[in-house]
């Protein structure tokens, strides 16, 4: 069937598959805007695609914790911590550095970049998804600084809530069963909010927390949970290839540093028993590489990326 703009079903399918040429893409986009029938077809197709997506939640790492323009809440939260720690900084230099390194983009600040300015000033930062209010309390007891990302409309229920989205960074100063006190850079002051409202607002970033440690003893590894990620057979085939290549990269780096094979590890003489082809590794060492490879593939999916074999 042809539409009035000569957009065939085949062309629409090619467009939806991402295989349309530049001219075909432009033609389809023009038709979508001009013809209600094509617009409705596209809407239904996209809804079907959404229904067929994986049933697990992806991390909102690319969501923006600050809007474009003058809303630089994430940077202001980091400068608040620098000031609290007695670390000298120049605000213009901080902003310039954040923009230069794409930690602050014209669109805003991606969640996963929050804390980079603190690292640059010598502070230790740990990032955690799926944190809890108890995690915040324990970190505060250690005098850690805590930055979180929230849906600002939910943080202050009197504001109209237009959409569910993490869009605002704040510093948590205290938290108990009834009240959470935050430094809100948009308000320029400390604000008390109901803990229930805070939890609803924080949930939109999948409880993302940036801990600024006092000492290395405060560090608690918090790997992203990948238990719900199930991979297709095509992706599982990658596991062994990535595992073997990871070993090759490691072995090449060791040899460039002057290490050679030895039946036992000898750091003084740079001897290592694993400087052998991957096929000759003991099963325990292969399993280490395989777990690393599998978790890498799962993490790609968890972060919202598609990984597909090219036809």
Which residues form the domain of 134?
73-218
- Looking at the structure, tell me whether residues 207 and 279 fall in a common domain: no
Residue 56: predicted pLDDT:
52
Q: Mark 75-114 as b/e (b = at least 16 C-beta within 10 Å).
A: bbbbbbbbeeeeeeeeeeebbebbeeeebbeeebbbbbbb
Last residue of a domain, one of 192, 218, 244: 218
Domain contains 56: no
In terms of Cα–Cα distance, which of 157, 179, 183, 197 is closest to 73?
183
- Looking at the structure, tell me whether residues 212 and 245 fall in a common domain: no
> What does the alpha-carbon distance between residue 8 and residue 19 come to, in Å, rounded to a whole number?
15
Interhelix angle 91-100/73-84, rounded to 10 degrees, is 130
Domain contains 67: no
pLDDT values of the chain reduced to their tens digit, one per residue, 311 residues: 333 445 666 766 665 555 555 566 666 666 655 666 655 555 555 444 444 344 456 656 556 665 545 568 888 999 999 999 999 998 889 888 988 888 887 777 788 889 999 999 999 999 998 999 999 999 999 999 999 999 988 999 887 766 667 788 999 999 999 999 999 988 888 999 999 999 999 998 889 999 999 999 999 988 888 888 888 777 777 888 999 999 999 999 999 999 999 999 999 999 999 999 999 999 999 999 999 999 888 888 887 777 777 76
- Looking at the structure, tell me whether residues 213 and 284 fall in a common domain: no
Residue 158: predicted pLDDT:
84
Domain contains 107: yes
- Looking at the structure, tell me whether residues 109 and 20 fall in a common domain: no
Residue 271: predicted pLDDT:
96
Residue 7: predicted pLDDT:
65
Residue 1: predicted pLDDT:
34
- Looking at the structure, tell me whether residues 149 and 212 fall in a common domain: yes
- Looking at the structure, tell me whether residues 282 and 237 fall in a common domain: yes
Contact between 213 and 144 (Cβ < 8 Å):
yes
3-state secondary structure of 92: helix
- Looking at the structure, tell me whether residues 141 and 44 fall in a common domain: no
- Tokens 């919202």 -> residue: 304
Contact between 227 and 56 (Cβ < 8 Å):
no
Last residue of a domain, one of 168, 187, 218: 218
- Looking at the structure, tell me whether residues 256 and 285 fall in a common domain: yes
Domain contains 184: yes
- Looking at the structure, tell me whether residues 123 and 185 fall in a common domain: yes
Q: Which CATH number does the domain housing residue 243 bear?
A: 1.10.490.160
Residue 178: predicted pLDDT:
94
Total domain count, the chain = 3
pTM above 0.85, yes or no: no
Residue 30: predicted pLDDT:
61
Domain contains 151: yes
Residue 23: predicted pLDDT:
62
């Amino acid at each position: 069937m042809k539409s009035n703009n000569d957009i065939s079903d085949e062309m629409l399918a090619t467009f939806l598959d991402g295989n349309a040429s530049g001219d075909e893409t432009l033609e389809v986009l023009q038709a979508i805007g001009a013809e209600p029938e094509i617009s409705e077809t596209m809407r239904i197709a996209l809804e079907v695609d959404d229904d067929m997506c994986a049933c697990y939640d992806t991390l909102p790492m690319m969501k923006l914790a600050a809007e474009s323009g003058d809303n630089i809440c994430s940077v202001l939260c980091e400068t608040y911590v620098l000031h609290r720690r007695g670390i000298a900084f120049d605000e213009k230099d901080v902003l310039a550095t954040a923009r230069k390194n794409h930690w602050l983009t014209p669109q805003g600040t991606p969640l996963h970049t929050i804390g980079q300015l603190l690292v640059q000033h010598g502070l230790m930062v740990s990032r955690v998804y799926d944190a809890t209010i108890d995690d915040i309390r324990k970190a505060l007891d250690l005098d850690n600084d805590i930055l979180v990302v929230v849906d600002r409309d939910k943080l202050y229920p009197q504001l109209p809530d237009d959409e569910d989205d993490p869009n605002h960074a704040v510093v948590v100063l205290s938290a108990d069963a009834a009240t959470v006190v935050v430094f809100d850079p948009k308000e320029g002051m400390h604000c008390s909010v109901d803990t229930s409202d805070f939890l609803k607002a924080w949930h939109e970033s999948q409880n993302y927390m940036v801990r600024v440690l006092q000492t290395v003893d405060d560090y608690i590894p918090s790997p992203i949970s990948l238990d719900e990620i199930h991979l297709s057979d095509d992706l599982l085939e990658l596991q062994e290839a990535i595992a073997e290549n990871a070993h090759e990269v490691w072995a090449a780096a060791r040899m460039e540093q002057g290490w050679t094979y030895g039946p036992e590890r000898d750091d003084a003489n740079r001897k290592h028993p694993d400087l052998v082809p991957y096929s000759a590794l003991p099963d325990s060492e292969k399993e280490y590489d395989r777990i690393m490879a599998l978790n890498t593939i799962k993490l790609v999916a968890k972060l919202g990326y598609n990984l597909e074999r090219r036809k």
